[in-house]
Amino acid sequence: MHDPVMLLDAVLTYMIVFAAAAFVLWRIFLPVRFKTVLVHRLSGRKEPCAPQAEEKGCAVGCSGCALGSIHKRQA
Amino acid sequence: MNVSVPTLPSLRLALVGNPNCGKTALFNALTGSRQKVANYPGVTVERKEGNFVSPIGRPVVAIDLPGTYSLRGRSPDEVVTRDAILGRLEGDQRPDMLVCVADATNLRIMLRLVLELRNAGIPMLLALNMMDIARYRGITIDVDGLSAELGIPVITTVAVSPDGTQALLQQIDAMANAGLASTEPHWHALDASEVRDAHHLADRLVDRFVSHPANDRDWTRRIDRILLNPAGGLLILLAVLFLVFQAVFSWATLPMEWISAGFDWLAQTVSAILPAGLLSSLITDGVITGVGSVLVFLPQIIILFFFIILLEDFGYMARAAFLMDRIVGGAGLHGRSFIPLLSSFACAIPGIMATRVIENRRQRLATIMVAPLMTCSARIPVYTLIISAFIPNRQVWGMVNLQGLVMFSLYAAGIVSAFAVALVFRTFVWRGKSEPFIMELPGYKRPLVRSVLLGVVQRAIIFLKRAGTIILSMMILIWFLSTFPAPPEGATGPAIHYSFAGIIGHALQPLLAPIGFNWQIAVALIPGLAAREVAVGALATVYAIGGDASGSALSQTLSAQWSLATALSLLAWYVFAPQCASTLGVVRRETNSWRWPVAMFVYMMVLAYIASFVVYQSAIALGG
């Protein structure tokens, strides 16, 4: 392991594995709310307010009201 | 010299209209977006925004709303439209202008909605879309007369034509320049007599301003006489689906071999360039072998979606919904369930979101719970791998490809099990009467080559993106878990047996032994919960690192290592296997409860285990 080539080989490998683990953690395991707060704080923006309980009582939960399922898209 | 150009104030306009009148096609034409369009109602279930600049330089925010027949908001998607128009969406401005989009070949129902929309208090115009089809069919509309009678501008559009939106853009600018003044909405839910009056008024307007030719050139009715025949129609539907799967297997063979050969070459080249070590193993055994074993199925996904999009654009899928209504209704689902179930063939996530078109709560929940049983595209790599490894590529009954037949049977198994489970839910959990299915059948249209190709390319990009992101990352982690820790001093077995993956696989194997799964399959099933196709890559990596790969193709390795009973058992597992994590997340969001995703996970896991057990034990008993 004292061979510099082998050392570089190991460092690169572990960095790739770490990056993959971080990506899987971010994409699959972290809750959306946590990610939203984190992204906004890191970019210095005020985070959006937390979702509130629905007041209108949709039949089975979210019906795409103001608090959910709205995806703004840029052209 | 700097010339300051005065910035025009931005404008928010909403596209509103009946389902399947071309709102999203118009939205795409205006904004350059690529939202999904199809020739059946209920494709758009949430509101979408896009930006464009009008001919005079005015920034415009366009909002594409789900189709509706009235502002009553009977289903969740219609509630979105009503609330957006009436300004009831929290944190969302009311639109400055409404563009009422009407199918010019079928104006009557839209005119009733236009009459209701006048009470929204927002300046509006009526865009008669699909004018090219109306002209072809000899339908003439007195645009000026209709405009004068309604008191709003009326223009014609062809959303799918390059110049088809010019008149609309000019009218938007003209109205914005003249000043748009909204008033408070004075809409109220119409009672029965008001609805009747509105219908009569719309009828009178059509009688006065729309003339139909004596001989309609539309072929829709003539084609429907054959395709909607109660007996013959179902047989034609089965034949169409059967031919699609035959094509998927027959046409994909050659490109799959090319891709496979490409990845083999890449792996050899990389291992020749890089010195032997961890990085070389990661890239060849983990990344190239793992991701390559999934990417090899791209041709099949492209061919399948080519046919699905072609049939959607032609208008046949709406007929399929109509034909299936009796079967779908027999399972206790709403006729509208067919479209979400159909969408689930691509991916369960849009399918579950599409259940918003279902008004009845119980039927919507039942549809959500069974949508993941429809064969999503992520299962294609798993099915194809096992079929190509264990099912001979030969013709039966003279002309039927056996592999295609097995694939067709797996899809059929998914459909039948979805209906059976729905029936169980509707009988024991969500009892209640089924509501009748009313759907306006769209006219047949010649599929646009550009639209079909765009749809196919989008599906291919989605698949490639998954391969390049989540599948790639998972493959790297599988490689890590299969490589570390290194075997202890004096170890005699293969190194992978001492790795994390080996330890986990061997720990799970006793639980999976009754269904014929070995420890390698146990390892592959875990990342398969994140995304099903990852299981294929995981198998490739585990066998490559373990030194058990007996050929360049994973299918050769599997056919040498597994019994037929194990292969059939794994196929049965993946007919029912619990959905990927993203789907469970969407179920949580759509039902606003953890109860249903947990229930879904449990019932699918139990079904998968029972099905695999029955298949494996039966195959063993029969000598498999």
Per-residue pLDDT at A56: 43
Residue B98, pLDDT above cutoff 60: yes
* Interface predicted TM-score (ipTM) of this complex, two decimals: 0.72
Angstrom distance (rounded) from CA B280 to CA A69: 44
CB-based contacts of B29, cutoff 8 Å, min separation 6: B159, B160, B164, B165
A9: contact with B, CB 8 A cutoff: yes
Contact B485, B500 (CB under 8 A): yes
Contact B540, B554 (CB under 8 A): yes
Better pLDDT: B18 or B527: B18
Residues 457-476 of B with CB under 8 A from A: 469-470, 472-474, 476
Residue B448 has a pLDDT of 81
Which whole number is the average pLDDT over B9-30? 89
With a cut of 70, say whether residue B14 has pLDDT above it: yes
Residue type, B379: R
Mean pLDDT, residues B244-263 taken together: 85
How much is the pLDDT for B534?
82
Q: Is A53 on the interface with B (CB under 8 A)?
A: no
Model pLDDT, residue B510: 94
C-alpha–C-alpha distance, residues B248 and B236, integer Å:
18
DSSP conformational letter for B154: E
The residues, any chain, with a CB within 8 Å of residue B612's CB and separated by 6 or more, are: B515, B516, B517, B569, B570, B572, B573
Instruction: Report residue B45's pLDDT band, with 50, 70 and 90 as the boundaries.
Output: low
Distance CA B452, CA B499 (A): 47
Residues of B in contact with A16 (CB under 8 A): 282, 476
- Residue A58, pLDDT > 50, answer no
Could you read off the pLDDT of B553-586 as tens digits, one per residue?
Answer: 788 888 888 999 999 999 999 999 876 777 887 8
Confidence of residue A17 (pLDDT cuts 50, 70, 90): very high
Q: What is the mean pLDDT of residues B1-23?
A: 78
Task: Say if residue B429's pLDDT is above 90.
Answer: no
Residues of chain B found within 8 Å of residue A54, distances taken between Cβ atoms: 592
B45: helix, coil or strand?
Answer: coil
Query: A64 vs B474: CB contact, 8 Å cut-off?
Result: no
CA atoms within 13 A on the CB side of B130: 24
At B97 the pLDDT is 94
- State the DSSP H helix or E strand holding residue B155, giving kind and residue range, or none if neither: strand B154-156
Rounded mean pLDDT, B327-336: 79
- Angle ∠(B478,B482,B484) on CA atoms, nearest 5: 115
pLDDT (average), residues B10-34? 87
* Count of positions (residues) in chain B: 624
Cα–Cα distance for residue pair B47/B66, rounded to 1 Å? 6
Tell whether B432 is within 8 A of chain A (Cβ).
no
Q: Say what the pLDDT of residue B569 is.
A: 95
The pLDDT, as a whole number, for residue B574 is: 92
More confident residue, B76 or B485: B485
Reported as a pLDDT band with limits 50, 70 and 90, residue A60 is very low
User: What are residue B102's DSSP bridge partners?
Assistant: B128
Angstroms from A38 CA to nearest CA on chain B:
20
Express as a percent the part of chain B with pLDDT over 70. 94
Minimal C-alpha gap between B150 and chain A (Å): 31
Q: What is the residue-averaged pLDDT of chain B? A: 85
Q: How many CB pairs under 8 A join A and B?
A: 118
Q: What is the pLDDT of residue B444?
A: 86
What pLDDT does B155 receive? 94
| Chain A nearest C-alpha distance from B359 (Å) | 9
Q: Are B367 and B340 in contact (CB under 8 A)?
A: yes
Average pLDDT value for residue range B547-554: 64
Distance (Å, whole) CA B175 – CA B181: 10
Q: For chain B, give the percent of residues with pLDDT over 90.
A: 30
- Residue type for position B36: K
- Domains defined for chain B, CATH in brackets: 11-211 (3.40.50.300), 235-434+448-621 (no CATH)
With 0-12 / 13-18 / 19 or more C-beta atoms within 10 angstroms meaning exposed / middle / buried, residue B563 is middle
CB B121 within 8 A of CB B195: no
- Rounded to an integer, what distance in angstroms lies between the CA atom of residue B68 and that of residue B72? 9
pLDDT at B433 over 90: no
pLDDT score, position B565: 94
Contact A73/B33, CB-based, under 8 Å?
yes
Query: Which range, of B158-167, B205-214, B372-381, B529-538, averages the lowest pLDDT?
Result: B529-538
> How many Å apart are CA B173 and CA B30, to the nearest integer?
13
Structure confidence at residue A69 (pLDDT): 35
Q: Which residues of A touch B32 (CB under 8 A)?
A: 75
Confidence of residue B199 (pLDDT cuts 50, 70, 90): confident
